[in-house]
A = this chain, B = another copy of it.
Amino acid sequence: MNISKQKKAIVLLSGGIDSATCLFIARKTHKCHCLIFDYGQRHRREIRFAESIAQKTKSPYRILKLSLPWGGTALLDKGKRLPQDRRLSRIGKDIPPTYVPGRNIIFLSIGISWAEVLGASYVYIGAHQSDFSGYPDCRKDFFEAFQKAIIKGTKAGVEGKEIEIVAPLLDKTKSEIVKMGKRLGVPFELTWSCYKGGKRPCGRCDSCILREKGFKEAGIEDPLIK
């Protein structure tokens, strides 16, 4: 990939370890602008954490309010039960109730819109398919197909100034991401993974379980559960 310091990138930032690490990868070579979505999550904590990460790296950022009033997912609908205490061997084997219909398609589409106006050449997303293969919109074949659609459907694409979707963590495991984040100086104390918005991570939801596994396998202490 021919990248240069001057080229701008949009980074989709969620407040979790993956997108934070993604930002630290992107900022090595690009001027990054962070896009944070306020889409009716169960709690505000991840938005505040995402903001802190953007501020920490002195990256300009926008928080975009987006209503998806039809719910259909345990991540937005407090009436739906979040899976908890699932065995590791179960996680990622099916499409879980935390799947948000169309989420990455929508987030990337909006990121592309901003990229086009800003003249950014890249949209970074921290998705990875290895631990979380249950989410169809985190898979390589989705990103490849979506890339083709935006080349056809944008002025930038039609004029040959392609905006590239970059998912640098796609084939990494959580522990590889933790190690990479550590090396790049990601402030893990400013990342939030838990699906719930308590004062401390619940330790029982899929996201907490995968985070714990990631830190453990990486041999690194998680500052959030000290």
How far does the alpha carbon of A112 sit from the alpha carbon of B102 in the complex, in Å?
A: 6
Chain B residue with Cβ nearest A141: B152
Q: Which partner residue on chain B sits nearest A102 by CB separation?
A: B113
Which of A19-27, A44-52, A142-150, A201-209 contacts its partner?
A: A142-150
| Residue on B nearest A139 in the bound complex, by CB | B152
Residue of B with least CB distance to A73: B117
A184 to chain B: which residues have CB within 8 Å?
none
Q: A153-171, CB under 8 A of B: which get 1 and which 0?
A: 1111110000000000000
Interface size of A by CB at 8 A reads 45
> How distant is A92 from chain B, measured CB to nearest CB, in Å?
14
A112: which B residues are within 8 A, CB to CB? Answer: 101-102, 105
Stoichiometry (number of copies): 2
Known: A154-B136, A155-B136. A101 touches B117 (CB 8 A): yes
Question: For residue A106, which residues in chain B have a CB less than 8 angstroms away from its CB?
Answer: 106, 109-110, 113
Given A142-B149, A148-B149, A153-B145, A72:B116 Cβ within 8 A = yes
Q: Are A104 and B148 in contact (CB under 8 A)?
A: no
A149 touches B145 (CB 8 A): yes
Q: Does A88 contact B (CB under 8 A)?
A: no
| CB of A19 to closest CB in B, whole Å | 18
Asked, given contacts A109-B105, A110-B102, whether A117 binds B72 with beta carbons under 8 Å apart, the answer is: yes
Q: How far is the CA of A129 from the CA of B20 in the complex (A)?
A: 41
Q: Which residues of A contact B (CB under 8 A)?
A: 62, 64-72, 95, 99-106, 109-110, 112-114, 116-118, 136-137, 139, 141-142, 145-146, 148-158
